[in-house]
Amino acid sequence: MDRTFWALADSTRRGVLQRLIDEPGLSVSDLAEGFSLKLPGMTKHLDVLSDAGLINRTKNGRTVAVTIKAAPMREAMAWLNQYEKFWTVSLDRLVAFVEAEDGQ
């Protein structure tokens, strides 16, 4: 989970994921070109995304195809959903509690 958010804390890497959602299987050089980066620069970003388990890289002959992996994103969404529910209900109870107390 830690590495997921580190990976997502960079706008280029978020952009890469967005492009991979729209166009799965893009090559590393396609991605580098799209973000005006040299191959080594894009490779570094992809290494971070790969370490976080967000992407897969598959070698096809001389090109490397990049695809997105969904599991860590689901984990992030689970975090959000869990705390959204937790605080929504807790705050509703808090509001009811203090307003009732005020009315006394």
Q: Is 97 exposed, middle or buried (0-12, 13-18, 19+ CB in 10 A)?
A: exposed
CB 73 within 8 A of CB 3: no
- Spatial contact of 45 and 27, defined as CB atoms under 8 Å apart: no
CA separation, residue 14 to residues 35, 45, 65, 72, 95 (Å): 12, 10, 18, 14, 37
Q: Residue 67 or 88: which CB sits closer to other proteins?
A: 88
User: Residue 48 interacts with other proteins (CB under 8 A)?
Assistant: no
Q: Which of 37, 64, 65, 76 binds other proteins (CB under 8 A)?
A: 76
Enumerate the H helices of the chain as residue ranges: 2-8, 11-22, 28-34, 39-51, 71-103
- When asked if residue 60 is in the footprint of other proteins (CB under 8 A), the reply is no
Contact range with other proteins by CB under 8 A, out of 31-39, 40-48, 56-64, 92-100: 92-100
Question: Which of residues 39, 70, 71, 95 is near other proteins by CB under 8 A?
Answer: 95
Residues 7-36 contacting other proteins, CB under 8 A: 8-9, 14, 17-18, 21
Footprint on this chain of other proteins (rule: CB under 8 A): 1-2, 5-6, 8-9, 14, 17-18, 21, 76, 79-80, 83-91, 93-99, 101-102
